[in-house]
Each structure stands twice: as C-alpha cells, then as structure tokens.
Amino acid sequence: MSEPDKTTGPAVVGKESAQPPAAGASLLAPDWLPAPGDANALTDRLWAAGVARDGAGQLTVQGIPAAELAETFGTPLLVVDEDDFRARARAFKSGFEAAFADLCGGADVYFAGKSFLTLSTARWAAEEGLRVDTASGGELAIALRAGVDPAHIGLHGNNKSDAEMLDALTQGVGRIIVDSVDELRHLAELAAQHGLTAPVMLRLTPGVHAHTHEFIATAHEDQKFGLSLAPATGDDDGNVTGRSPASVAVEAALAAESVELIGVHCHIGSQIFEADGFALAAQRVLAFLAEVRDAHGVELAELDLGGGHGIAYTAVDAPRPPAQIAAALAEAVRAATAEHGLACPRISIEPGRAIAGPAGLTLYTVGVTKTVDVDAPDGTTAARRYVAVDGGMSDNPRPVLYDADYTAVCANRAPQATPVLSRVVGKHCESGDIVVKDVYLPSDVARGDLLAVPATGAYTHVMGSNYNALPRPAVVAVTGGAARTIIRRETVADLLDREVDPQDPAR
Ligand SMILES: *Cc1c(COP(=O)(O)O)cnc(C)c1O
C-alpha cells in the first residue's frame, strides 16, 4: 500500500462547511478546514450508519452511548458497526454485479483483508458474498480459520516465502497473484515438486498511479510491485530483450505445466475518488490481453482491477458510491473489449478501506490539555490547543506514516463552548504522534471527556504496534444494538509473556 500524499482536494459543501464561518477561525487552520458553526455536528459520510447523537447530546452507536462503551470495554477502543461493514460489502457486491452482469456475467468482490482482517471481519465479508484477499501466511491462516472457502481466497505479496506459497497450494487457494518473473519460476518449480498446479494471476503495472482526484500515467513505474507492461532494456539476467516483463511472465506461465494462468491483475493506488484512473488501467491491461491472444492464441479468463476506492476522512472528502465507479468501469471495459474483439474476462475488484474504514470509529479518553503560542503565517502569534488522548500512533499510525488527516468530535457530551483550533495528540514519546492534526473542538473539552475519531476501521488495528510498550486496544463489534468484543484488549502481561531473559525473576 502506498499513500504518499496528504488527502487534499476541492472543498465540497457538507453539513459543516455549509454553515457560515463562526467567530474564532484560526490563522493556523489549513485552508480546507473552516471554523464550524457546530463542532458537535456529525457529517453523515464520515460516520458509520449506526452513529448518532442522543437527546442528551451524547454520541451513540446503534443506540449505545459512547460513555457506556468506554465504561464497559475501556479506551482506546476501536468500535465497528458490523451492520455498516456488511452494508458496504453488499453495496460493492451488488453494484459491480449489476454493472457487469450483461457484459461478463457479473463480478467478484474480494475484501482486501490487509485493511482489517480478523476472524469476524473475514466471516462477515464471506457471509455477504465476498471473497477474501490475503497478503501473507498469517492473513491466509486467519481467512481459513474464519471459514472462508479456500477457492475464494487470493494470496498476494511481492516476496512470498516458500512456506506461504506451499500453504496456498496445498490449501487449495483459488488464486496466487504472482508479482515477478522470478517468483513465477520459483512457484512453478515448487508446485511441480509437489505434484500440484498453481492457479496464477499475474500482477501487472500498467503505468497508472492514482490518488484522490488525480492519476499519473507513465510508461515505467519505479516500484517493487508487479510486472511492467513497458518493454524493458534488459531482463534480470542482464540479457537485452526489448520485451516487457509482463509478456515474459505470460510466456513462462503458459509454458509451465504446473501453472494454470487464470488471468491478470492490477492495483493502481489508494484513496482514489475518480474512476478515470481505474478506466485507463483497464484499457491498458485489456490491450495487453489482446496482445497475449495474438501472440499465444489464448484469451485469459480473469481480470482483477484491484482496490483503492477512497473514503471520507474529513468533511472535504466526497467518495462516489460503488455503483457509480462500477458503471464507469463497465463502460471502459465494454469499449476496450469491443475495440480489441476480446470476450469480456471475468472482472474482480479488491476494496479494503472502502468497506472497513467508515464502519469503524475510535474512542479515546482525554487527559492533558494545554495551549501553546505558535507563529502564524501573517507574523502574528496564534494559539493552538493540544488535546492529549490515551492512545496515538500505536493504534493509528496513518497520521505519522502518511500525514493523513482525520477529524474528531467530543463523544460523551455536546459541549456548547466556542470551538477552538485543536491538535489531538497521543501519549507516545514522539512529536509526530498526532491523532488529528487540525480540528475545531469546543474550548472546554477537558480531562475525562471522550473523543470519537471516525473512519478508523481500516489500516489501524492491523497496523498497530506496541511502541512504548502500550498494549493494543480492544475491538468491539456492534450489531442489533449490542456490543461484543471481537479482539480482546492486549495486556502488559501479554507483552511480558514474550520476554525470554535468563535473569527474569518471573521465569
Ligand atoms: C492494499 C491493496 C488493496 C486494498 O486497497 P484499499 O485501498 O484498502 O481498497 C487491494 N489490492 C491490493 C493488491 C492491495 O495491495
């Protein structure tokens, strides 16, 4: 996954920004962040469907007050609205199924497990008719233990170990997405040694990299993933070939008796809002499938267009519904297959963030607050309020890794104090330990209050760490108006349990 850029883009009119700017707009605020009229407002597209405020102003998840969740399960707490997760999974399934129904008999949706893989989330995805993508032996083990049909599991990775590949082969995984010529040859050998056939998709890099509202199209891509469509000056052995790694891999795959070449795959980025990048990638890859047919007389059966569908992290993000992306993609696939006289391959996609992200929110308890003076861009001095919470980069590393923006609201009450520009920070020994870089919070938010950060379902639990020996948070799922633990909170005892020191008195 790569998220090189900060989430930016034209401001769209949402519930908050539609209101006239309130007094107290800060010179330190980024352009995209207006001072809100009501800092307690919940912008719909940021929150899981079950999130609301009750009559007393408290944030609730399917009717359960935030304070009750915090009291029962502790904080920091990742709360997942299971019904919302399932609804988003269904929206992808039905949207793509409908758009591709008459073109190529529907489409398969793989939940990109790496975004938020647990036994529960894998099972929910499978129960909603999705398949599951994994990217390691560990993820594969979770999907299998969740009861996902091995034939409906994909295995990714740019450097799969022999053990991982063998595991996938013997478990009957439906597709192994191969990343390089080297890996293809090695996998073919492994499969042959064990008398097995490897179901292979080739991951291609079509020279399209998309993020938010833009995509970049090039011939070459300087990245570790995939097989380039562009002719290479030399192969891995230093021979001059003038052929693309993709065509070398196709030839090798077709020649290997232990390989069944199912199709090709591409994944062009993350946090993508527009369909044009996906469409261009599909065109380039379909043109390649036409070349394969012309060279080898084979029409490959499947085309996976990857994941990367964007979500709203702040009020400026306005993602399109899955059905709209699906319709645009179906049009591109229809045009390209017609142009090349190709039968439409079976289409699949791999959304992760767009299913898991908005279904989650993180509850934190506020500790220290303080205000610091900062030099403002106009030469004056402006105040920034720091609000420190009981988690941080260990439960959500995206701000420190990608400079990612989030927002937050006070969850245990709806304070009426004037909103002031605030920075929500964690408790780690690292100045980059930011939870929400810029948000207007009521000026009286203080020790003991709860903050809720929306859109934290994806790439948080799965990227968590134990930095500063902080035990990782619990994950609770809410459905039918009831909350239950799906990942228990880690304890300091869990951390100490891995210690093997000969002088340890507790041994
Ligand atoms: C990360 C990844 C995905 C999922 O990306 P999202 O942004 O979570 O939708 C899908 N496919 C591949 C190959 C990936 O690497």
**Domains detected in the chain:** 18-75+360-456+460-491 (2.40.37.10), 82-356 (3.20.20.10)
Predicted pLDDT of residue 223: 86
Predicted pLDDT of residue 9: 38
Predicted pLDDT of residue 21: 45
82 a known binding residue? no
Helix (H, G, I), strand (E, B) or coil at 356: helix
Structure tokens at 475: 């994950």
Distance 135 CA to ligand 1 centre (A): 10
Distance 487 CA to ligand 1 centre (A): 23
**pLDDT one-digit tens code per residue, 59-115:** 999 999 999 999 999 999 999 999 999 999 999 999 999 999 999 889 999 999 999
Is any atom of ligand 1 closer than 6 Å to the C-beta of 399? Answer: no
351 a known binding residue? yes
pTM (two decimals): 0.94
What is the number of the ligand 1 atom nearest to the C-alpha of 352? 8
Is any atom of ligand 1 closer than 6 Å to the C-beta of 348? Answer: no
CA separation (Å) from 461 to 115, 174, 225, 389?
9, 27, 24, 17
The residue whose CB lies within 8 Å of the most ligand 1 atoms, and thus the one to mutate among 270, 271, 456, is: 270
What is the number of the ligand 1 atom nearest to the C-alpha of 269? 7
* CA angle (430 as vertex; 487, 453 as ends), nearest 5: 45
Is any atom of ligand 1 closer than 6 Å to the C-beta of 112? Answer: yes
Q: CB burial class (10 A; 0-12, 13-18, 19+) of residue 341? A: exposed
**pLDDT one-digit tens code per residue, 12-67:** 333 344 444 455 799 999 999 999 989 999 999 999 999 999 999 999 999 999 99
384 a known binding residue? no
439: left (phi over 0), alpha (psi -120 to 50) or beta: beta
429 classed as catalytic: yes
- Could you count the other beta carbons within 10 Å of the beta carbon of residue 424? 26
Q: How far apart are CA 455 and CA 314, in angstroms?
A: 9
The pair phi, psi for residue 215, each rounded to 5°, is: -135, 155
The residue whose CB lies within 8 Å of the most ligand 1 atoms, and thus the one to mutate among 117, 132, 267, 456, is: 267
Distance 202 CA to ligand 1 centre (A): 16
Q: List the residue whose alpha carbon is closest to atom 10 of ligand 1.
A: 307
459 a known binding residue? yes
Is any atom of ligand 1 closer than 6 Å to the C-beta of 311? Answer: no
Is any atom of ligand 1 closer than 6 Å to the C-beta of 65? Answer: no
What is the number of the ligand 1 atom nearest to the C-alpha of 110? 10
The residue whose CB lies within 8 Å of the most ligand 1 atoms, and thus the one to mutate among 117, 208, 272, 350, is: 350
Predicted pLDDT of residue 23: 58
Q: How far apart are CA 364 and CA 422, in angstroms?
A: 15
Predicted pLDDT of residue 414: 98
Low-confidence spans in the chain with pLDDT less than 50: 1-2, 4-21
Is any atom of ligand 1 closer than 6 Å to the C-beta of 306? Answer: yes
Is any atom of ligand 1 closer than 6 Å to the C-beta of 353? Answer: yes
Q: List the residue whose alpha carbon is closest to atom 1 of ligand 1.
A: 1
Is any atom of ligand 1 closer than 6 Å to the C-beta of 309? Answer: yes
Distance between start and end Cα atoms, the chain = 40
CA separation (Å) from 474 to 292, 462, 486, 491, 505?
49, 12, 8, 10, 29
Sign, CA torsion 285/288/290/293 = negative
Distance 231 CA to ligand 1 centre (A): 26
